Structure 1
Amino acid sequence: MLRLIFRFALLWAVADAIFNVRLGEDITLYWELDYAAGEFVAEIHAKNVDPTTGWVGVGFSSRGNISDGSGDFCITWRDQLGAAASASSAGEHEPPMQITDVNIRNGTNIIEVDQQQDCLDFQFVFQNGTLKWTFRRKFTTCDYFDYALEEGTTHLHWVKGTGPLYDIKGVSIKKALDQGFKRIRFLKNIESPEQKQTRINNLRDGSTWNFKILNTQVKVPPVETTYWCQIFKIPEGVAKKKHHVIQFGSFIQKGSEDLVHHMEVFHCSADAHVSIPMYAGPCDASPPELSVCSRVIGAWAMGAEPLSYPAEAGLAIGGPEFNPYVRLEMHYNNPGLKGGYVDSSGMEFWVTNKLRTHDAGVIELGLEYSDKMAIPPKQKRFQLTGVCNRECTSVSFPRDGITIFASQLHTHLTGARVLTRHFRPSLHPGNVDGFVELPFMNWDNHYSTHYQEIRRLKRPTRVLPGDVLLTTCEFNTLDRTNITLGGFAISEEMCVNYFHYYPRTKLEVCKSSVAWKSLREYFHFMAEMEGQHIEPEGAVSSNYNGIEWTPFRAKLLSDFYNKSPIDMQCNQSDGTRFPGSWDSMSVPKFPKLLQARNPNDECYL
């Protein structure tokens, strides 16, 4: 049994062992994970709840829409009908709170009661005007009306309303006093006491110090989404001499906890003597000189923990050849359209001059930033895959391989699922084309571009020379009427996995795109066989936009991508390719990536 149950008075004594997130202005969720038992215990503190008729719930959905059939809540409430019967027989006037496992009727906001009740071990207390309640639930309940918790992004909902109620069934979530959702990583990593103490000791070491990259009194406008960019110079003491970053995390100004959605810090990869304009303003109005500020050195999203590097590695910054400029990109989320916000949040870095055994590095996997790859409109799950092929890993990785310990998945607005598959050469006759598939290296079946963080892998992974890494993204373009091209604009698309690893090698980019020769042949086919009014030798974007997209032509494009040769970007840190011919390369036929399965399905296999 986890320690959180009915520990209201002792909560703060065990706060270091659990996670917490604020939900709206009045609710805070605390939770503890038990991976061995496959369950969690939650404790919710809700302020401003009517002690006689109030009801409160927390729950989950697949993508933030509780009406799509995935809405699942545990709700605590009072049964006034039961209270009346109790009062007449026993003189009891106030019914106790109870908990009910409910789902949201598909296509509506109406609560339905689950036949199988999985919100267990409920207890509650009103304390100093706050309702505190706790329950236990399995990650996977084997009930299709329950949301199954899995790795990656979790859309966490809250709801608070008032009665009186005689039944929770039939109540409309829409009529609640307060409701909303946040994206978090619910199934977080757990540090052992020894690991935690080692990390704390490292931060307290006399050779370690910290610095902050903070916005300066940003007046956040009363609009839902603001992307704010600002250029900084890192402290001279760090810039002039090589250091290792050993941890980074957020530094959120008090009062901005619900405003700051996510942020990234990018190093400006230019010569050491190059000056970068000290810009501060909307990201989409940034001067062109800021385009070199694109190497991620820190990232955080709401609910994320600080990222600590393994004891044997650190991210190298500073030194004679190091450009001292960085760019802070902040995403402010203001759905209430409130005015008057002034924010000075940012990121905090811990560095040491006691260099660790290995420099850590970052490799970009996935698709080349190019309009050669595109997604037709009206697609629910269109897949694109970027290849890091065996030729590239063979020439770039040391004989003992590299260790990947963290990962950041990235797409733009239509990305819905991202994962990287890992294949290793094998001589076993039963393996496909001489490869065996190893466990996924990072995956998110509920991905959202609005929640991006660098995640420590639960199990660091060794990648050897000759291994193949396939990064696949699923895109949903049901609301788009024309083709979505690959590119840098937010309306265009990317498919990237930034792997953090050690020891650092010269490899910085291992990405692919469809081969130019094959793409021209495809456009000739579309013009000659499908009668499309395009110029096959003309601009790629014009050709894609000139095609009249139908479900059949979308399927043709998908099949073409999956069977065509690729052009490889096997790029070193100076931007040049490793020696060799990297165009029109063949790709072994790997097993098709299947549609994401509901973990509840595993109960019935």
Structure 2
Amino acid sequence: MGILTVTALLFLGVLGSYAVHDIPDRYDFALNLQFDGQPGAATFKFFYTYDRDNQMLRMAVKVLSLGWVGIGFSRNAFMTDTDVAIGWVDSSGAGYLQDRYAFRRGLPRLDVQQDFILYNATETDGYTIIEMARALETCDTQDDITINVGDTIYLLFAYHSMDPSSENDIPQHEFRQSMIINLFGSIVEPPPPDNLSFLDLLNENVIIPGVETTYWCKTFRLPDSIINTTHYMTAFEPVISSDTTAHVHHMLIYKCSDLTTIVGANNADGVCHSVHEEARDCRDNLLIAGWAVGAGKFVYPENVAYPIGGERGDTYLLMEIHYDNPDNLVGRVDNSGFRLSLTQEARQFNAGLSGVGAQTNSNLFVPPNAGIFNVFGYCPSSCTREFLPETGITVFANFLHTHTVGRSVILRHIRRGVELPPIDQNLFYDFDYQLTNHITPRVILPGDDLIVECRYNSTGRNFSTFGGESTSEEMCLSFISYYPEVPITYCVSFPRTDQYEDWVQTHAPLALDTYRQIDELGEASNFFNSFQWTDQAFRDIEDVNLNGVHFVVCGSETTGEDSGYRAFNERPPPINLPYEPPDVCSTGGAAQFAYSTIVVVLMAMLSFLL
């Protein structure tokens, strides 16, 4: 008797007492999925829990229909190359679940290796309920996709009002939709603290300029109650105007220096580069909150909060909003911003937020039509050794950020020449879906090195891309949330300009004098756009970033008596032992892995019933 048969019999022994009414209580997260523009579609609910210890997803779907239901995971929003689970309950009450793979449109092909494991199938009150589990890595390289922690992924969902007439005759869906999601970035929200209060920081009837990119800044004087008594931020969430959802790309909040000398400093707003200089300089101060398109509410762990006001001397905040308006539309009015959740109760740890990666300037460079091109930003050991406490800091969340040609971002961690597993990564980055991910807590010690590695694909873009704030420009950053708070606002780097001169000397020696006379970004763009690129030129300019000397800037405006940033030249850290992810699918391991997955699913189901 095979493993699957034995497991199925064990399931049948306990399903009789399995309650369906408490499905939400058995899962950490619930989504109400919408079939946009499809009138008559039923309610489709998706529940899931990420089992971090066993590297698996436990899932349930609940659909107001008595036919088949299905979900799928894909790297795109379509049916092609999609890992699919289709389940139903027949007229006798028997439950079915099939693992299929869609190579093209039409009925997905049945997998030889069934990796979606059914542990409940029920029809009740007009709903079909299917509960299942799947390992993140199934070792099925033919008909499954690996679900990597941190990656964005497309969730497809569909159903039909009728059951299949047989296991091999499944009618085409009546309703189908997809959504992009990160299944691993949230935590279960702790109970709200006592005496919770809210602070809204909102724009007021801002007319979005009719240009592609606008950074809008607004200052806020904190209420006297916060200025006089330290408050602790336990969560923040976006408040986005319904009419401008398509334009609000990201929002940031900075602590500000004392602006009392500026007339009208409270609620002063305008395009960021035009506001008062002292307010504009706040963008170099401590960043306390950030949001980008795709994200929702961010909640701190129950033992961590971000302190504001009181003895810290905070008086003003500055909010920055990036408006993305590629069609140059006019007349759009925005009232977006943040809602902060605050309490006067201190928690065990005060949180900090710091940016690491590549300095956003013209030395961040992606050549035209580069199929794969890597950029690196460094936070070296000399910086962490100076600013981190002896016991280090614990990173509990992270926000990865590039723009439209970014394809993946990895926050790498080096300790004394040995590369540890990535702190965070998104190997399928999507510019239109960015969020701060809660991660497995990681300690960074003094003397550790951090590398932010960004992979770009500029295929089809016939012009060079430089670092900058515009959507059509690029960034390569990681914003780490950690405790305890330390005096580092940024730790960033960029290759020294003279190394680009060496590259020009090698590949276009007759143009070296022209390159040396460049003093504007537009001139640099014209120079590189007209350059005759070869594979070797691509690789050599990438090597400037990877192995060349970098100019490093680290520290904060609030580092005490020695207030200010440190700036120095340093080479990237030596990596004597690169990180290699464990191979769970090595020869002989796949069968054992499949067996372990089934046992884990059974134990998980039994735990629900005890």
Q: TM-score, normalised by structure 1?
A: 0.75
- 1:473 CA drift (Å): 1.1
Looking at structure 2, the residues matched to 526 and 266 of structure 1 have their Cα atoms a distance apart, in angstroms, of 44
- 1:325 CA drift (Å): 3.6
- 1:509 CA drift (Å): 1.5
Looking at structure 2, the residues matched to 139 and 5 of structure 1 have their Cα atoms a distance apart, in angstroms, of 29
- 1:513 CA drift (Å): 0.4
**Match 1:59 to one of 56, 72, 78:** 72
- 1:365 CA drift (Å): 0.6
- 1:589 CA drift (Å): 3.1
Looking at structure 2, the residues matched to 169 and 215 of structure 1 have their Cα atoms a distance apart, in angstroms, of 56
Aligned to 1:548: 532
Looking at structure 2, the residues matched to 6 and 332 of structure 1 have their Cα atoms a distance apart, in angstroms, of 49
**Match 2:360 to one of 363, 366, 369:** 369
Aligned to 2:253: 266
- 1:443 CA drift (Å): 1.8
Aligned to 2:4: none
The answer (yes or no) to whether the contact 1:566–1:587 under 8 Å persists in 2 is yes
Confirm whether residue 142 of structure 1 aligns to residue 139 of structure 2.
yes
- 1:22 CA drift (Å): 2.4
The answer (yes or no) to whether the contact 2:241–2:335 under 8 Å persists in 1 is no
Query: Which shifted more, 412-421 or 148-157?
Result: 148-157
- 1:568 CA drift (Å): 1.0
Question: 1:190/1:488 Cα in 2 relative to 1: closer, same or farther (>3 Å)?
Answer: closer
Confirm whether residue 439 of structure 1 aligns to residue 421 of structure 2.
yes
1:192-220 deviation per Cα after TM superposition (whole angstroms, max 9, x unaligned): xxxx7xx53xx4334x5333345779999
| Alignment of structure 1 residues 460-475 onto 2, 5 Å | 461-475=442-456
Aligned to 2:409: 418
Aligned to 1:564: 548
1:201-252 deviation per Cα after TM superposition (whole angstroms, max 9, x unaligned): xx4334x5333345779999xxxx9999684636513552352434114367
Aligned to 2:32: 22
1:204 aligned partner, one-letter code: P
- What SS does the corresponding residue of 1:210 show, helix, strand or coil? strand
- 1:127 CA drift (Å): 3.9
- What SS does the corresponding residue of 2:433 show, helix, strand or coil? coil
2:489 aligned partner, one-letter code: E
1:144-199 deviation per Cα after TM superposition (whole angstroms, max 9, x unaligned): 222222211332422325487657879898x7533122222x135666xxxx7xx5
Aligned to 1:430: none
Question: 1:243/1:320 Cα in 2 relative to 1: closer, same or farther (>3 Å)?
Answer: closer
Q: TM-score, normalised by structure 2?
A: 0.75
Question: 1:405/1:127 Cα in 2 relative to 1: closer, same or farther (>3 Å)?
Answer: same
Looking at structure 2, the residues matched to 556 and 253 of structure 1 have their Cα atoms a distance apart, in angstroms, of 44
- 1:537 CA drift (Å): 3.7
Looking at structure 1, the residues matched to 47 and 333 of structure 2 have their Cα atoms a distance apart, in angstroms, of 28
1:542-598 deviation per Cα after TM superposition (whole angstroms, max 9, x unaligned): 333332333332122112322211111124226999687613x33343269789999
Aligned to 1:384: 375
Q: What percent identity do the matched residue pairs reach?
A: 20
User: Which ranges in structure 2 are unaligned for 5 or more consecutive residues?
Assistant: 1-10, 36-42, 326-331, 594-610
- What SS does the corresponding residue of 2:306 show, helix, strand or coil? strand
| Alignment of structure 1 residues 567-578 onto 2, 5 Å | 567-573=551-557
Looking at structure 2, the residues matched to 73 and 414 of structure 1 have their Cα atoms a distance apart, in angstroms, of 29
Query: Which shifted more, 119-128 or 133-142?
Result: 119-128
Looking at structure 1, the residues matched to 476 and 535 of structure 2 have their Cα atoms a distance apart, in angstroms, of 22
The answer (yes or no) to whether the contact 1:39–1:139 under 8 Å persists in 2 is yes
Aligned to 1:429: none
The answer (yes or no) to whether the contact 2:239–2:339 under 8 Å persists in 1 is no
Confirm whether residue 324 of structure 1 aligns to residue 337 of structure 2.
no
Looking at structure 2, the residues matched to 325 and 498 of structure 1 have their Cα atoms a distance apart, in angstroms, of 19
**Match 1:582 to one of 568, 572, 597:** 568
Looking at structure 2, the residues matched to 246 and 299 of structure 1 have their Cα atoms a distance apart, in angstroms, of 13
- What SS does the corresponding residue of 1:587 show, helix, strand or coil? coil
Question: 1:8/1:440 Cα in 2 relative to 1: closer, same or farther (>3 Å)?
Answer: same
1:279-317 deviation per Cα after TM superposition (whole angstroms, max 9, x unaligned): 899xxx767328556454234565756421563653334
| Alignment of structure 1 residues 248-327 onto 2, 5 Å | 248-250=235-237, 264-267=251-254, 269-273=256-260, 274=262, 275=264, 278=267, 288-289=274-275, 292=281, 294=283, 296-300=287-291, 302=294, 306-309=298-301, 311=303, 314-317=306-309, 321-327=313-319
1:467-521 deviation per Cα after TM superposition (whole angstroms, max 9, x unaligned): 2111111112223222211111111111111122333333222111001221222
The answer (yes or no) to whether the contact 2:491–2:555 under 8 Å persists in 1 is yes
Aligned to 2:117: 120
Question: 1:591/1:234 Cα in 2 relative to 1: closer, same or farther (>3 Å)?
Answer: farther
Aligned to 2:22: 10
Aligned to 2:467: 486
The answer (yes or no) to whether the contact 2:248–2:321 under 8 Å persists in 1 is no
1:423 aligned partner, one-letter code: I
- 1:74 CA drift (Å): 0.8
| Alignment of structure 1 residues 68-467 onto 2, 5 Å | 69=81, 71-76=82-87, 98-105=96-103, 111-121=108-118, 123-144=120-141, 145-162=143-160, 177-184=175-182, 186-187=183-184, 199-200=190-191, 203-206=192-195, 208-213=196-201, 231=218, 233=220, 235-241=222-228, 243-250=230-237, 264-267=251-254, 269-273=256-260, 274=262, 275=264, 278=267, 288-289=274-275, 292=281, 294=283, 296-300=287-291, 302=294, 306-309=298-301, 311=303, 314-317=306-309, 321-327=313-319, 329=321, 347-355=338-346, 359-425=350-416, 435-459=417-441, 461-467=442-448
- What SS does the corresponding residue of 1:9 show, helix, strand or coil? coil
Confirm whether residue 526 of structure 1 aligns to residue 507 of structure 2.
yes
- What SS does the corresponding residue of 2:199 show, helix, strand or coil? strand
Looking at structure 2, the residues matched to 388 and 250 of structure 1 have their Cα atoms a distance apart, in angstroms, of 29
The answer (yes or no) to whether the contact 1:314–1:356 under 8 Å persists in 2 is no
The answer (yes or no) to whether the contact 1:64–1:155 under 8 Å persists in 2 is no
- 1:354 CA drift (Å): 4.3
- What SS does the corresponding residue of 2:554 show, helix, strand or coil? strand
1:62 aligned partner, one-letter code: R
- 1:386 CA drift (Å): 0.7
The answer (yes or no) to whether the contact 2:153–2:180 under 8 Å persists in 1 is yes
Aligned to 1:535: 515
- What SS does the corresponding residue of 1:372 show, helix, strand or coil? coil
The answer (yes or no) to whether the contact 1:365–1:511 under 8 Å persists in 2 is yes
1:250 aligned partner, one-letter code: E
1:375 aligned partner, one-letter code: V
Looking at structure 1, the residues matched to 472 and 349 of structure 2 have their Cα atoms a distance apart, in angstroms, of 38
The answer (yes or no) to whether the contact 1:512–1:568 under 8 Å persists in 2 is yes
Query: Which shifted more, 209-218 or 119-128?
Result: 209-218
The answer (yes or no) to whether the contact 2:44–2:61 under 8 Å persists in 1 is yes
Looking at structure 1, the residues matched to 335 and 479 of structure 2 have their Cα atoms a distance apart, in angstroms, of 27
Aligned length: 545
CA RMSD of aligned residues (A): 4.5
Looking at structure 2, the residues matched to 263 and 210 of structure 1 have their Cα atoms a distance apart, in angstroms, of 21
Looking at structure 1, the residues matched to 114 and 207 of structure 2 have their Cα atoms a distance apart, in angstroms, of 47
- What SS does the corresponding residue of 1:240 show, helix, strand or coil? helix
Looking at structure 1, the residues matched to 21 and 51 of structure 2 have their Cα atoms a distance apart, in angstroms, of 22
Looking at structure 2, the residues matched to 344 and 505 of structure 1 have their Cα atoms a distance apart, in angstroms, of 33
**Match 2:55 to one of 35, 38, 62:** 38
The answer (yes or no) to whether the contact 2:231–2:343 under 8 Å persists in 1 is yes
